[in-house]
Amino acid sequence: MGNLTLYVKSEKISIVQYSEGIPGHPCTAAYRVKEIFERFKPEDEEAINLLNEAGIDYNLVDLSDCPFTTQLAAKIRGINETPTLVLESGEKIKGVQNIKQMLLKIRG
């Protein structure tokens, strides 16, 4: 297959910690972000795994972590749900079930 692009979204999960600050000064107490975990949404993760297992080369575009202009360009092209796989011909395959069916046709 030619030049494929998979559009996905990730989500960030923040681990928050309470810190007292200077003892006796309540205005210095605060909640601070201790760690940030980033992961793909389950359906998007499944699509990534399917393409990796099939040994297919593709470009990955995370719409949650890209410039606004890239997000806007994707919207204009009709990428309104994730995961969406765009084939070299410009055909869009939306949803992990449709991507799975496309891979089965290629293998079969």
* pTM summary value: 0.77
The C-alpha R_g of the chain, in whole angstroms, comes to 20
Q: What is the pLDDT of residues 17-65, one digit of tens each?
A: 877 777 777 677 777 778 888 899 999 999 999 999 999 899 999 999 8
Q: Where are the domains of the chain?
A: 5-10+41-107
Task: Assess whether pLDDT exceeds 80 at residue 83.
Answer: yes
Q: What is the pLDDT of residue 36?
A: 84
Which helix (DSSP H) or strand (DSSP E) does residue 69 occupy? helix 68-76
Q: What is the pLDDT of residue 24?
A: 72
Q: What is the pLDDT of residue 1?
A: 56
Q: Which of these CATH numbers, 2.60.40.2140, 3.30.70.1140, 3.40.30.10, 3.20.20.150, describes 5-10+41-107?
A: 3.40.30.10
Residue 42's identity, in one-letter code, is P
Q: What is the pLDDT of residue 90?
A: 87
